[in-house]
Structure 1
């Protein structure tokens, strides 16, 4: 990385270590942070004609920030992605400025580009149930069919991320009435487990040909190794094509469906936030917009315009 000094490279690594240790940021997020900040520094090197060190970073002006954002938009970076990059740069400056003794106002006062937030794309309740009923038909072996069905029920019935479902181990079986799940950023939450989910996992374990041990993955691949997320993504894709569902009918959409259907049934926002493991209530509030949008769609169908 010739566009930044060795000292700045060390400083960037220290910041990422801080985010990892104290803020509990997930590894994938840290990789995105690094890429975003390095991209910003690469632009400054080109813009100013000098490799970036700690001193040049302290001299960044609002004009520099605007030039960077214009450059990013000019090369086709979407407003949402640019807002994420700006957030990473601001986070780095908040950490760096007090340590290096400079005023970061120019960076922190830069406004993020406006964009329309993406609403979650849940399945309807009948479509989610159809997915559960049909998912096992893709498998050649009964135990694989039972495995895939159990995973999908956990995604929809408990609102788990696919990584959370596949991180369960032998010691978690038989599933208890409530599970302690460790999600993004090491955040732990308690999730109730429906009887249908417990029965589905128990049925899979009865058929699974691989010996279950406490430290082994609960969900196993054909040869006995840990089941990869791609295997579930593929079988969900096959099922959605058979059912004629849109491309948005993914494993993660089942988690969205869990939240949206709870909201429609009268669940309160704070409880749903806790069940999903969202750090911010604003993230969960997206489901209120989905519920309102679905209500308006029903209204429009029932009361078509003349």
Structure 2
């Protein structure tokens, strides 16, 4: 990084990231991605111009530089979605830097991201979601670990939690009531209902778990009592998927998608589902309407007397 960026540019990058954390509430993973994307961009400029990129050279970036950078990304096989994400990070940095340093960032901000097809969520059927929970519990060698895995997976499907949100729960969240306050991406808080089946699954886990809950300790423990690694839940879900003959898309995150899609299919309001999922933008939640439309068309074609 030091070879590609001058101390002044490095300080500017860190100040921008600090502001994104403080004012924008950006999550640590997001900030890491921002830093990587901007550093990679400046490293490209360093190689492209054969000189270190300080603040003055960064202010002189033109349209040919931007086109050359994006052409290199495409040549490296970077997907259009990832190119768009990288460009978004660079634009965000340049908006801040241009205001701070007093230059015109038109060449950067006017660059268009490549078009890409947004991937629609692939939900599981209701039966498949229930079967995964059952198999996850049954396949564990130790009873308390099976109960733990089943409780986590039940929260993903029953409450629409991200895996990081479920594993972020602590003993201080107990006892679970009818609702749960979740802190999601960007520090955004939301209230989610907790179904009786989820409370029951957690009660079973707590009765069997050899590590008593502590207010500041993770609710879900690893085999040795530390925080449960999300990779463990991914592994047990993958094993259950293979046993049930489900597609590779049957991941822990697919259970969250299934939660939303099944609510929508049952007549749930889109804005209410947006709140339950913790989506900052309604457009993110609207992807589920496309999934539901596919289901509705299949039902229509299979059952309407004039459809054939």
TM-score after normalising by structure 2:
0.95
What is the distance in 2 between the residues matched to 1:63 and 1:69? 10
Match of 1:201 in 2: 202
Conserved 8 A contact 1:58-1:104: yes
Does 2:83 align with 1:82? yes
Does 2:110 align with 1:109? yes
3-state SS of 2:141 partner: coil
Query: Which whole-Å deviations, capped at 9, do the CAs of 1:171-214 have from their partners, x for residues lacking one?
Result: 21221110000011111100110011111111111111212222
Compute the RMSD of aligned alpha carbons: 1.6
What is the distance in 2 between the residues matched to 1:299 and 1:16? 50
Q: How does 1:281-300 map to 2 (within 5 A)?
A: 281-299=282-300
Shift of 1:250: 0.7
What is the distance in 2 between the residues matched to 1:225 and 1:4? 39
What is the distance in 2 between the residues matched to 1:61 and 1:302? 58
- Name the count of aligned residue pairs: 306
What is the distance in 1 between the residues matched to 2:109 and 2:247? 40
Where do 5+ consecutive residues of structure 2 fail to align? none
What is the distance in 2 between the residues matched to 1:210 and 1:43? 50
Where do 5+ consecutive residues of structure 1 fail to align? none
Query: Which whole-Å deviations, capped at 9, do the CAs of 1:156-177 have from their partners, x for residues lacking one?
Result: 0000011111111112122111
Match of 1:250 in 2: 251
Structure 1 window deviating more from structure 2 (141-150 vs 292-301): it is: 292-301
3-state SS of 1:189 partner: strand
Q: How does 1:75-224 map to 2 (within 5 A)?
A: 75-224=76-225
What is the distance in 1 between the residues matched to 2:5 and 2:137? 52
Query: Which whole-Å deviations, capped at 9, do the CAs of 1:213-247 have from their partners, x for residues lacking one?
Result: 22221111122222111111111111110000011
Shift of 1:294: 2.5
What is the distance in 2 between the residues matched to 1:270 and 1:246? 30
What is the distance in 1 between the residues matched to 2:270 and 2:6? 47
What is the distance in 2 between the residues matched to 1:32 and 1:73? 19
3-state SS of 1:168 partner: coil
Query: Which whole-Å deviations, capped at 9, do the CAs of 1:94-130 have from their partners, x for residues lacking one?
Result: 1110110001111111110000001111111111011
3-state SS of 2:225 partner: coil
3-state SS of 1:190 partner: strand
Query: Which whole-Å deviations, capped at 9, do the CAs of 1:252-305 have from their partners, x for residues lacking one?
Result: 1100100111111111111111101111111111111111123334455568x9
Does 2:266 align with 1:276? no
3-state SS of 1:179 partner: strand
Conserved 8 A contact 1:174-1:202: no
3-state SS of 1:35 partner: helix
What is the distance in 2 between the residues matched to 1:196 and 1:224? 25
Match of 1:55 in 2: 56
Structure 1 window deviating more from structure 2 (37-46 vs 80-89): it is: 37-46
Shift of 1:7: 0.7
Query: Which whole-Å deviations, capped at 9, do the CAs of 1:15-71 have from their partners, x for residues lacking one?
Result: 111111110111111111111111111111222222111111111112221121111
3-state SS of 1:181 partner: strand
Structure 1 window deviating more from structure 2 (289-298 vs 160-169): it is: 289-298
TM-score after normalising by structure 1:
0.96
